[in-house]
Amino acid sequence: MTARSQASAGDLLELVRSGRATTRGALQQVTGLSRATVGQRLDRLFRAGWLREGAGGPVDSPLGGRPSITLEFDGEHAVVLAADLDTRHARVALLSLTGEILAEQGGTLVIEDGPDAVLGELGRWFAELLAKEGHRAEEVCGIGLAVPGPVDSETGRVVQPPIMPGWDGYDIRGRLARAFTEHTGSGQVPVLVDNDANLMAYGEQRTGHPDCSAFVLVKVSTGIGAGVVVDGSVYRGIDGGAGDIGHIRVPEGAQALCRCGSYGCLAAVASGGAVARRLAEAGVPAASGSDVRTLIAAGHPEAVGLAREAGRLVGEVLATVVTLLNPGVLMIAGDLAGTPFLTGVRELLYQRALSRSTAHLDIVTSRLGERAGLVGAGALVVEHLYAPERAEERLRALGV
């Protein structure tokens, strides 16, 4: 927050949203602002429809008196749209500002068809979802998009994505904003883009592990990627490349050609796509990680065995990740995130990593499942739009 004497309306909103100060008196105490100044800045937030009064709080004075009126972020004054792209499938959702999924739908969408076609189709899906749920496009304050490739968060463009041919450097934000306008007739809205594992990690950490200061999620589907959340924020690296563990070289993959063009990548031997190829070579019908998931659920012995083997390979790499980051939670997600794969991960991880690194480590599977990326994408939009400086800009644009 800014200096106490300069706390803005956006700063007050942040204090209320975080729960650090939820009454007028508490805001005065935390910020050092006068009662009149707090009242003026809160009035702007009320006029924007961003705050509302809740129930009265406890009476702090031993002499009694009227209870303090609590302040709440009004999560109903707008909605957020989110989309999660995989290589051959996508999901879209309508979310409240507090992260509740109000409606969702999914379907086939092939990422190799290119960004213009795929993003145009997402615009159509968004329009259909709004119409079906009875929401106006003008209620949408922003759109969040999860993609299966490294993203430069400053530009929203993917950077040399191995499994997204034709997307490198493409203006995703601009195209999706135009697609939304084309299909709804509404003005353009802000679009935020991030890597799918990052947003899955963000959604899962905020929803199920808010007190975990070092959280790692590993998604194992067509490829393999990791999302890292440190002190409540996604760690992206210098240009969005953090967490790309699928392209760490492993000895077992020396002869395996990865989609990135190199030999020996972890993803080439341990991803859902790699397991599907090995099953197909053995005469078992499997073309993708989702097919492998179905086979594992049915107890297919070869699929179960290969998933466990893949887990061991990933576990060996994760031993280094855990030693480096010392997380409190390691979450396994994606098509292979079942018991056989998790068993393999545990075997090698505990064998290879120092006991000091795993003493307080919980290894778990996804709680949100296919919704994790959508929840994370929605949260990304809300945290961006209601951050203090951005909130101030938006209040001025609203004329309040």
pLDDT digits (tens, 9 = 90+) for 8-56: 999 999 999 999 999 999 999 999 999 999 999 999 999 999 999 987 6
- Total Cβ atoms within 10 A of residue 324: 9
The partner residues of 216 in beta bridges, in order of sequence, read 228, 330
- Name the phi and psi angles at 177, rounded to 5: -60, -45
Could you give the angle at the alpha carbon of 286 between the alpha carbons of 243 and 125, nearest 5°? 65
Residues 161 and 135: their CA atoms lie apart, in Å, by 35
Residue 350: what pLDDT? 94
Here the tokens at position 77 are 């004054």
Here the tokens at position 382 are 């809300």
Residues 364 and 283: their CA atoms lie apart, in Å, by 32
Residues 162 and 160: their CA atoms lie apart, in Å, by 6
How would you classify the pairing of strands 362-365 and 329-333? parallel
pLDDT, tens digit (0-9, with 9 covering 90-100), for 66-102: 567 899 999 999 999 999 999 889 999 999 999 999 9
User: What is the per-residue burial (b if ≥16 Cβ within 10 Å, else e) of 145-176?
Assistant: bbbbbbbbbeebbbeebbbbeebeebebbebb
Beta strands in 139-255 (DSSP E): 140-147, 151-152, 157-158, 191-195, 214-220, 224-230, 233-234
Whether the CB-CB separation of 89 and 122 falls below 8 Å is answered with: no
Helix segments in 134-233, DSSP class H? 172-184, 196-208
Here the tokens at position 47 are 């006029």
Residue 54: what pLDDT? 85
Q: 3-state class of 1 per DSSP?
A: coil
What is the enclosing helix (H) or strand (E) of 103?
Answer: strand 101-108
Residue 239: what pLDDT? 86
Instruction: Report CA torsion sign: 259, 119, 219, 238.
Output: positive
Residues 289 and 336: their CA atoms lie apart, in Å, by 7
CA 178 to each of CA 188, 189, 342: distance values in angstroms, whole numbers, following the listed order: 7, 9, 42
Which residues in the chain come in under a pLDDT of 70? 1-5, 56-67
Instruction: Report CA torsion sign: 298, 302, 305, 308.
Output: negative
User: What is the residue whose two structure tokens read 């210098």?
Assistant: 238
